[in-house]
């Protein structure tokens, strides 16, 4: 694949600037002696779990439930990750374990 | 400086293990998506935000617009807005290092900075700086290993992108157990499914994020009430 250098460079800069901007904002806005607005605290508290749920669905958006393999490899992969993680609470084991099972699934079983 | 790094190193070991392995996964995925080592390093230095870098692979290969990229970054990283609140005082007299400290304030660095104090005889500012700096080194080193491994080892990589889904599932489970209320999760799922049904799989993100924000703003009482009684320590920013 050919990488569009100009596009990629600008995109990376955009992500970098927005990320730094977010991390910098409290130092500019809520300096000492100023209280954080209530709605900012509220959104910051409850947005992350909603966004994480969205991102998981986003990852799964191209599954076709009406054609083989009906999303079964993804379902198995996610169950493996969840079981491993609830059991061991080790990010690395959960991610690698689930991914290997998924890869075996799509490469050897559901082909 | 050397002594500060020596003192900081032991407490960064858990982050080292996590960052090198997740950094490797990122470097490997990025390489397999057609972006070489230099792009991977650039991303890990300029963006330096774990989950966002994985999303970025999707956005870049899909040719997403810059506004969509900016908004996605905003939503995925918005939680970082609160990390700084704990350090407004702590970073105050760090001079030139302050900019780096703010720039490198990731989830893991935040948690280490919150819980660590310099041992006797070590300058606390240098100590904190060493923690942040070491953590980013781990991330960049992991990225390099992953990217190089991806270009050297030829194997059937079909399905390797599931690592990103797995990462999000892991974060999801961690969040699930730290929140008393799961209404935001329900809002996230239903908003995304509604957007998916209306706008299709290619234009899913922006409408879902808007829908999530609006719905959260409509139900603050219901959501906050369930949480605030038992979860008060979440809202305090004192380290």
Tens-place pLDDT, residues B23-57: 998 999 999 899 999 999 999 999 999 889 999 99
Return the pLDDT at B115. Answer: 74
Residue B167 covered by a domain:
no
- In a shared domain, residues B99 and B201: no
Tens-place pLDDT, residues B152-199: 988 787 888 788 788 889 888 988 888 888 999 999 999 999 999 999
- In a shared domain, residues B21 and B109: yes
Given an 8 Å threshold on Cβ–Cβ distance, is B170 in contact with A95? yes
Residue B49 covered by a domain:
yes
Residue B169 covered by a domain:
no
The larger pLDDT score, comparing residue B3 to residue B230, is at B3
- In a shared domain, residues B43 and B145: yes
To test the contact with chain B by mutation, choose from A4, A26, A69 the residue with the greatest count of B C-beta atoms within 10 A, namely: A26
Residue B22: pLDDT band with limits 50, 70, 90 = confident
- In a shared domain, residues B146 and B214: no
For A8-17, A36-45, B21-30, B59-68, which range has the lowest pLDDT when averaged over its residues? A36-45
Residue B171 covered by a domain:
no
A86 reaches B (C-beta below 8 A):
yes
The number of C-beta contacts closer than 8 angstroms across A and B is 250
Cβ B45 vs Cβ B162: under 8 Å:
no
| Structural domains of chain B, count | 2
**Domain end point (choices B114, B135, B152):** B152
Closest alpha carbon to B106 in B135, B134, B130: B135
To test the contact with chain B by mutation, choose from A49, A77, A107 the residue with the greatest count of B C-beta atoms within 10 A, namely: A49
- Alpha-carbon Rg for chain A, nearest whole angstrom, is 20
Query: With 60 as the cut, is the pLDDT of residue B150 above it?
Result: yes
**Domain end point (choices B134, B152, B170):** B152
- In a shared domain, residues B83 and B143: yes
As for the ipTM of the complex, it is 0.86
Percent above pLDDT 70 for chain A: 94
- In a shared domain, residues B139 and B208: no
Average confidence score pLDDT of chain B: 86
Contacts of B215 (CB under 8 A, 6+ apart): B187, B191
B25 closest CB neighbour out of A11, A20, A95: A95
Closest alpha carbon to A95 in B54, B173, B163, B15: B163
A33 reaches B (C-beta below 8 A):
no
Return the pLDDT at B230. Answer: 46
Contacts of B22 (CB under 8 A, 6+ apart): A91, A92, A95, B50, B142, B167
Query: With 90 as the cut, is the pLDDT of residue B131 above it?
Result: yes
The larger pLDDT score, comparing residue B203 to residue B190, is at B190
Q: Which residues of chain A from 46 to 75 reach within 8 Å of chain B, CB to CB?
A: 46-62, 73-74
What is the domain extent for residue B184? 179-235
- In a shared domain, residues B143 and B229: no
Query: With 80 as the cut, is the pLDDT of residue A40 above it?
Result: no
- In a shared domain, residues B231 and B124: no
**Domain end point (choices B117, B152, B187):** B152
- In a shared domain, residues B191 and B145: no
Contacts of A91 (CB under 8 A, 6+ apart): A85, B18, B21, B22, B167, B170
Residue B75 covered by a domain:
yes
Name the residue of chain A whose CA is nearest to B197's CA.
A61
Cβ B103 vs Cβ A20: under 8 Å:
yes
Return the pLDDT at A32. Answer: 62
Using CA atoms in the order B36, B41, B43, B46, what is the torsion angle rounded to 10 degrees? -150
Tens-place pLDDT, residues B219-235: 887 777 765 544 444 44
A28 reaches B (C-beta below 8 A):
no
């Amino acid at each position: 694949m050919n990488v569009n250098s100009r596009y990629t460079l600008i995109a990376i800069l955009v992500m970098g600037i927005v990320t730094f901007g977010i991390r910098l904002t409290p130092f500019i806005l809520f300096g000492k002696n100023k209280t954080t607005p209530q709605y900012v605290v509220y959104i910051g508290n409850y947005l992350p779990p909603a966004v994480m749920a969205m991102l998981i669905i986003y990852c799964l958006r191209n599954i076709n439930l009406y054609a083989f393999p009906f999303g079964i490899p993804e379902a198995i992969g996610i169950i493996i990750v969840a079981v491993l993680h609830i059991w061991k609470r080790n990010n690395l084991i959960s991610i690698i374990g689930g991914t290997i099972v998924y890869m075996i699934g799509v490469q050897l079983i559901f082909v | 400086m050397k002594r500060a790094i020596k003192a900081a190193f032991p407490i960064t070991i858990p982050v080292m293990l996590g960052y090198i392995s997740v950094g490797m996964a990122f470097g490997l995925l990025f390489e397999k998506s057609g972006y070489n080592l230099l792009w991977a390093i650039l991303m890990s230095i300029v963006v330096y935000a774990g989950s966002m870098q994985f999303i970025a692979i999707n956005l870049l290969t899909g040719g997403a617009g810059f506004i969509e990229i900016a908004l996605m970054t905003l939503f995925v990283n918005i939680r970082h807005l609160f990390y700084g609140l704990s350090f407004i005082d702590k970073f105050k007299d760090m001079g030139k290092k302050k900019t780096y400290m703010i720039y490198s304030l990731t989830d893991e660095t935040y948690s280490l900075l919150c819980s660590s104090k310099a041992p006797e005889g070590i300058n606390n500012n240098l100590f904190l700086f060493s923690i942040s700096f070491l953590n980013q080194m781990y991330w960049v080193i992991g990225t390099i290993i992953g990217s190089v491994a991806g270009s050297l080892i030829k194997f059937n990589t079909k399905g390797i992108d599931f690592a990103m889904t797995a990462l999000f599932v892991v974060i999801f489970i961690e969040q699930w157990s730290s929140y008393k209320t799961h209404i935001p999760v329900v809002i996230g799922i239903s908003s995304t499914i509604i957007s998916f049904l209306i706008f299709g799989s290619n234009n899913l993100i922006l409408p879902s994020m808007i829908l999530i924000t609006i719905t959260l703003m409509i139900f603050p009482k219901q959501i906050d009430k369930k949480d605030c009684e038992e979860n008060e320590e979440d809202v305090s920013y004192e380290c």
